[in-house]
Every structure is written in C-alpha cells, then in structure tokens.
Structure 1
C-alpha cells in the first residue's frame, strides 16, 4: 500500500526512544530507524534518552549521534529515573509537531512509524497506539497477564484499546505535552490522554512485534501488582480530578457511618439496658472507625490536591538532564533531499 506521505499536512516528526543498559541494541536500533524513515519527505529527528545506564550505552549513543548527524539527539539523565521519567524527558526535548515513542530493544519496528503518522494526520486523531496483535513474548509471563491487564484497564478507564503496553505510539505534540507523566504511568498514557482530549480521537494500529535480540527484559511478574496500584490512581484522576472530595468523602462518610452505627448500638445498650460498655472492643472499633473516616476525608483530599498541584505546577521534576545546553543549541533535522 502506498502511503503518499507527500500529501500529508506539513509537519516535523520527533521519534523518542528511552534506553537503559541497551548498548548492544543502540547501533541496530538507530540504523533501523533510519531505514524506516529513509524516504520520509518531512523533517524528522531522533531523540534518544539514556536513563542512567550503567553499561556503555551512553558512549555508544554518542558515537551514533556523531556518525549520523545532529538530527540524532542524545539526552543523558543523571541517574536511573525509570522508563516513565525517561519518556517524559524525551517528550519535553522533542520539537516535532508529531511525536512517536518506541522502545529501544528492537521489539518495536520503526518501519511502522510512517503508517501510524499517516493515519494520525489523515484521520485527525490525537493518538494512534500500536497493537502487538502477534506478540513474540512468553505465553505465561507476558501474554496472559498483559491481556488481563488490558481488559481491566479498558473497562475501568473507558478507553477501548487492545494493547496498552505497546510503547510504539504516535501523538500530536501539542496534545501529549499537556500530559505530565510521573511514577510508572507510561502504561496508562492513552488513559491520561483521555483527560485532555476525547477518547474518539484515540485509535490503534496493528504493528509488527519482534522477539528481543539483545539483553534481558526489564519487566517481571511483579509489574502486575504495580499496574493495579497505578490503575487506582488513574481511575481517581479520570473520574474525580475536578471533585476529589467526592471520592475520598464517599469512603470517609461510609467509615463514619459504620462507626456511628456501632456507637449508636452501644449507646442503646448503655442507656436503655443499663449494661456496661467500657470494656467492649466494639467501643474502640466504633470510635476509631469514626476518627478514621474524618481523617480520610480531610487528609486524603488535602494530600491528593497538593500532590496534583505540585506536579502540574512544574515544581516537581522527575528527572535531571546532564547536557541541557547541548540539547537547547541543537538545530539538526534529517530531511529527504
């Protein structure tokens, strides 16, 4: 199928790749990106973020940037801030109207990038997410937990995608830059994006998926538990971001209601039946349930609101870049002659 990329609206493309201890993948990955975008008619850049690697990834990245030219930009984080912060650093550094993210382990195929960008622009979407329909991962440790997680996330967030975990995604730059990522929220980017745009402007595209060629996977079965905890946070901010008191207040009122019923029951026993309640465990349970409910309402609302203000104000930085001056002075773009 001919994509006729020349007919797309004029734009600049940024490809963002976070990497951590992937020295063997650097050369093949950079080469593969250039192969996939060899005939791309619009200016593009490759932004690679080293997430505090402890091997020779940084040196290999610098050599690749020197070999290919100034359109290959290397962002060096001062330590390992994890994938979400590395991805946010790349998005912040990217200058393109369209931003594409992908992993650096060669499991995503850059040849899919032009097709995803074409669909993003032609269908006037804000996000085209990759769907690894034919995954090349282990059945039990990766595929089955991933399918369960994808269905759970889709059901709770309302954003219907088959594959939340695929890093290969194409965004409109002005939309994704309105979303701040922290913690380990990169798995929920489509859900976070739905807080600033309509879910109808989010779609997916079947992409190639290859078995890992070098190194080891950074993910294990423990990720499932972190996904559940992160999903609770995503659900809160999608449903109660503008009214957090309703979320915490409902739980607090429920606790206070239970505690009040316990205390009312004990009051009846004390004043109507004349029995002693001073040594009953229910007295302590009722009292502390009421207190916990009050604290849940007050402390919960205040802490969540302050945390959100802290992150959105820009005061909280999830990473520190080692070479900001080099990046700000970089002007290179790769463009078809």
Structure 2
C-alpha cells in the first residue's frame, strides 16, 4: 500500500465527509493505493457513525479506531501508527485546515527525495496572532535551540513519515509536538519541512487552549532529558550529585582548616557550615537517584495501553 492517512479527531462530524471525499479524489487522481485511519478520540457527537457510513461509501479505504474516552492527540497518533500499513504515513487534522492537495508533494519528498520525515510549515496562518501565532513562534524557537532541528512549525499536524519511522517510535502523553525530536533520537536524521497551505476553520471550534504551550515547554524538557539520558540516567544524576557533593566537601575542608588555624573559630555558628551540610546531603541524594533510575525500567509496560471501544477494518 502506498499511503496511510492517520487522522485523529474529536467531535468533527461535519468535516469528515468532505475530508474523506477530498482525500479519495486526490489519491485516485494520482493512482495511489491508500487507507484512511480515522482515530476517534472519545467524540461525544456522531463522528463515529459518520465514519461507519464513510466505510460503506469508500469500502476498503476508510477504517477507524474509537477510544472509549478522550486520551489526547498523542494517544490517537500512536494507535494510528501501529495500525498503519502504508509505505508512507501522512498525518493531518480532521478540521479541514490541512489540505489533502498537499499529499502528492509530501509523498514525493519521502519516496523520491528519500527523506525520513517531512514536516509541514504553515507559513501563512489564519489563527489569531496573539493567542496562537506569537506563543507558537516562541515554542518553535525554543525547540529548535534545544533539539538542533531547524523546523519552523514543529506542531503542524500535516506531516509525512517513512513507515520505518512510525514503527520505531512511541508517542505518549502530549509528545506529538516533538515527533521530529523523538525521530532524531531514534536515529532518523533526514528531516525536512515543506510549505503547506493553512486553511481557515470551516466547522466547529478549536480544541486547544493556552495550556498547551505551558505543557509544551514542560514536555520539551522531558523529551530532551529522556532522549539524552534515558538509557544512562546515572550520567546525569551521578555527574551533578558528584559536583554538588564535592562543593560541599570543599566548603567543609575550608571550615576544618580555619578551625585548626584559629582557636576561637566556631564552625557550627557559620552559615557556610549549613550550606556545606545541605550540599553534601543533596549530592548524595542525586547520586542515589542515579542508581535507582538505572534500576527502574524507563518504559512502563502499560504506558501505551488504551481502552479501545471499537475497531473498523483493522
């Protein structure tokens, strides 16, 4: 199969028929064999019924997964990636703000230009300048600086992947923003971007608020730590624990030396005594944390376990 389109959705019953028809038109015109994987992330409207109807309208092409409750976009993408069978996996949002007309260019970047991952760049946006555009620019600048991946729009939902990429990574929590970073940590370094069209929302309302940017920076710190030290946590905790302990030991040595030189020098009344004691304790705790982290498995067995209510064609 040429293409799997993984489309997470939450309460998008109005846009799904138009989106499926548009994708079918583009893929048929380009002679692509394809599947559409709609991942219903706990919708409370008739989205799942619409997906069932579309599976009858486009037999063999439209498939679906329905969560019992809302788990988030990362969970939906992770389940879609596991089910996808195409040589190229393309993700897009279900709200018609991503144009299916971009599919051929994204597919060509993966197949012809041999990239592992192609991220969309919505150069011209229709979002509110202050509530979305400005925070998004700050978020992207911070991610570029930390990851070393020069992309303008990490959070763009329109992306294309070589199959091996999505089968090699796990996406959990709210890490969907950092799939390029996760892919890089897994050794996929041929990452680029493609300018794509951003369309004004036609139906419904946005499902994201300001909190996603706060969570985004926290997730960036988390994924950076896991990527660098996930397999060797002692290199982080042990290093800082040793440094902090040595600073405390150095201060203690200074206090002892001062006591030996000056008879009336009282160590326990000096603020440095308590600073040295605190640093020594923190240093030991960090060192022990490194040992414990080495013993604890980084990947919990149920980290990507979700209650799936129903499946269609999978």
Indicate whether the TM-score tops 0.5: yes
Return the alpha-carbon distance in structure 2 between the equivalents of residues 239 and 94 of structure 1: 29
List alignment gaps of at least 5 residues for structure 1.
Answer: 1-10, 329-337
Q: Secondary structure at the match of 1:38?
A: helix
User: Does structure 2 retain, via aligned residues, the 8 Å contact 1:13–1:96?
Assistant: yes
- The residue number in structure 2 matching 1:232 is 221
Structure 1 residues 156 and 301, CA gap change in structure 2 (3 angstroms): farther
- The residue number in structure 1 matching 2:39 is 49
User: Does structure 2 retain, via aligned residues, the 8 Å contact 1:86–1:319?
Assistant: no
- The residue number in structure 2 matching 1:299 is 289
- The residue number in structure 2 matching 1:183 is 173
User: Does structure 2 retain, via aligned residues, the 8 Å contact 1:52–1:77?
Assistant: yes
**Partner residue of 2:97 out of 102, 107, 124:** 107
**Partner residue of 1:126 out of 96, 116, 119:** 116
1:252-284 Cα distance to aligned partner (Å, 9 max, x none) = 223223332343344345454344344555444
Q: What is the aligned residue count?
A: 313
- The residue number in structure 2 matching 1:250 is 239
1:86-114 Cα distance to aligned partner (Å, 9 max, x none) = 11011111111111111111111111011
Structure 1 residues 54 and 146, CA gap change in structure 2 (3 angstroms): same
Return the alpha-carbon distance in structure 2 between the equivalents of residues 133 and 125 of structure 1: 21
- The residue number in structure 1 matching 2:125 is 135
List alignment gaps of at least 5 residues for structure 2.
Answer: none
1:146-202 Cα distance to aligned partner (Å, 9 max, x none) = 122212211211111111111111111122210111111111111111122342x11
Q: Secondary structure at the match of 1:135?
A: coil
User: Does structure 2 retain, via aligned residues, the 8 Å contact 1:81–1:318?
Assistant: no
Q: Secondary structure at the match of 1:149?
A: helix
**Partner residue of 2:28 out of 26, 29, 38:** 38
Structure 1 residues 304 and 60, CA gap change in structure 2 (3 angstroms): farther
1:146 aligns with 2:151: no
User: Does structure 2 retain, via aligned residues, the 8 Å contact 1:35–1:111?
Assistant: no
Structure 1 residues 153 and 78, CA gap change in structure 2 (3 angstroms): same
Return the alpha-carbon distance in structure 1 between the equivalents of residues 159 and 108 of structure 2: 12
1:165 aligns with 2:155: yes
Structure 1 residues 215 and 300, CA gap change in structure 2 (3 angstroms): farther
Return the alpha-carbon distance in structure 1 between the equivalents of residues 291 and 154 of structure 2: 29
Return the alpha-carbon distance in structure 1 between the equivalents of residues 67 and 40 of structure 2: 6
